[in-house]
Structure 1
Amino acid sequence: MNRLNRGFGLIEMLIALALSLVVVLGVAQVFIAAKNTYVSQNAAANMQEDARFVLSKMIQEIRMVGMFGCLGTIIDASAGASFTASQITPISWDNANLKLTLVTADVGAGGGTPTWTVVSDCRNTAMAYSNVQAPATGQLAFPIRRLIYSLKNGQLTMGSGIGTPTQAVLVDNVSKFDVSFGLAASATDTAASSYSPNPSDPARIRSVRLTLTLRDPNSRVRDQTFNVVAALRNRLP
């Protein structure tokens, strides 16, 4: 038989199959790695989006803490004189129960029913009423809400109202929620010089630092911690 007409031998076929298998395995490995990278990046992006939504909302509300209208003196006409107590402590953090309470001016018209409404002519009188109160001619209405954020069973929830309001879930898979307050050296200083979770003098609070840690329930990405600082626009009593 002519040597030039011979086909591939068994050894050559085995070598070719082995090389093809190596190439296929390499391509599959690259594909799997690319897919895992996409899945982990997508999970991280979802966590960042959840954190951005919650923290931006809380920052907006923290900045409006202590804003009770255009006059400093307000007559409390609310049920049970509940508004007076809210003025004394418009922001507080319960570290044992992981609960943040805010008394803040409602931002925009989409906040739902306010806890109180301060009606004022911005010159002589201001009165606080429970729920919604329509202003008379020449008056302005300032909706005020009492908000409670809390962490329980891996869920960050929020409720609005007096007492212990019903909580709605804002975000799941939360492993840590922490709050600390930036304190000035004295009630007259403007800049925060230290942080504390339980300040003894609310008049020294200048900012609020929020820490939120989210986890991926499918362990596709490591826990991600987000920190933001919100400055108070209104001095607390």
Structure 2
Amino acid sequence: MNRPNSGFGLIELMVALTLGSLVVLGLAQVFLSSRATYLSQRSSAMLQEDARYVLSKMAREIRMVGMFGCLPIDRIIDAPEVFKTPVSGHGKSFRMITADMGRQAGRPDWTVVSDCTTFAKAYPGARLSLALGEMAFPLRELFYRFESGQLKTGPNKTVLLDNVAAFDVSFGVAGAQSVMRYEDRPANVSSIRSVRIGLTLRDPGGRVKDQAYQLVVALRNRRV
């Protein structure tokens, strides 16, 4: 008596191939979805890191705007005219004169030397020699501009940040007690009490939507 042939028939083979293809396609879809999620999260994290770096840098600088030492501006000998307008700008750019606390950017633009009681004088550049009881306050004039999708800094327009979709600056103008409104170009600089910055970053790969951030920083030195 002959035994029947063992193995798979054509139908069983086709069913197995179909099921195997479905499993492979499912695994591939899961892999691609996981990869897309990872890339989008990574892009979002990079945008957040860029925004955090730039905005924290600006916040430190804005807080020290108008910090010319211990005495008022009108008592500083040889104070340059720009000291009277330590912060200014419009929607796409602004400038400020701020205390160079870290001394990490090289030579300061000015140094105010004062004994914090009766004497204060402004010198161009750095001032290394001090008399007994004197203190030096290095100052720097900083510029920020938004051009062609980039945030630039300094008179030479050095690129600080790429992939910028929008950048906006406005100034909080004080009333009798507190900030009443924000203006692009305040007529009275002495009324400025805060700076509001809007920053929108764009993922060049288009994996995530544009990320918008806003920062409001109060000026600590009210004498400006």
**TM-score by shorter chain over 0.5:** yes
Query: What is the distance in 2 between the residues matched to 1:106 and 1:177?
Result: 24
Give the partner amino acid of 1:133.
R
Structure 1 position 26 matched with structure 2 position 20 = no
Matches within 5 A, 1:35-46: 35-46=35-46
Report how many aligned residue pairs link the two structures: 220
Decide whether the 8 Å contact of 2:93 with 2:168 is kept in 1: no
Structure 2's unaligned 5+ residue stretches are none
Query: What is the distance in 1 between the residues matched to 2:106 and 2:63?
Result: 19
Counterpart secondary structure, 2:197: strand
Counterpart secondary structure, 1:37: helix
Structure 1 position 133 matched with structure 2 position 127 = yes
Residue by residue over 1:125-167, the C-alpha shift from the partner in whole angstroms, topping out at 9 and shown as x without a partner, is 10001111122222111001100011112111111xxxxx223
> What's the counterpart of residue 80 of structure 1?
none
Query: What is the distance in 2 between the residues matched to 1:138 and 1:236?
Result: 24
| From 64, 84, 93, the counterpart of 1:88 | 84
Cα drift, residue 218 of structure 1: 1.6
Decide whether the 8 Å contact of 1:67 with 1:234 is kept in 2: yes
> What's the counterpart of residue 229 of structure 1?
216
| From 177, 182, 200, the counterpart of 1:213 | 200
Matches within 5 A, 1:131-170: 131-134=125-128, 135-159=130-154, 165-170=155-160
Query: What is the distance in 1 between the residues matched to 2:12 and 2:180?
Result: 77
TM-score by length of 1: 0.88
Cα drift, residue 169 of structure 1: 1.5
Query: What is the distance in 2 between the residues matched to 1:107 and 1:172?
Result: 26
Query: What is the distance in 2 between the residues matched to 1:117 and 1:167?
Result: 24
Structure 1 position 185 matched with structure 2 position 175 = yes
Decide whether the 8 Å contact of 2:90 with 2:170 is kept in 1: no
Query: What is the distance in 1 between the residues matched to 2:186 and 2:147?
Result: 24
Structure 1 position 74 matched with structure 2 position 76 = yes
Give the partner amino acid of 1:177.
F
> What's the counterpart of residue 105 of structure 2?
111
Query: What is the distance in 1 between the residues matched to 2:95 and 2:139?
Result: 13
Cα drift, residue 69 of structure 1: 0.4
Decide whether the 8 Å contact of 1:215 with 1:223 is kept in 2: yes
Decide whether the 8 Å contact of 1:202 with 1:236 is kept in 2: no
Cα drift, residue 2 of structure 1: 4.6
Structure 1's unaligned 5+ residue stretches are 77-82, 160-164
Query: What is the distance in 2 between the residues matched to 1:196 and 1:223?
Result: 25
Give the partner amino acid of 2:188.
D
Identity of counterpart residues, as a percentage? 52
> What's the counterpart of residue 175 of structure 1?
165
Cα drift, residue 7 of structure 1: 2.3
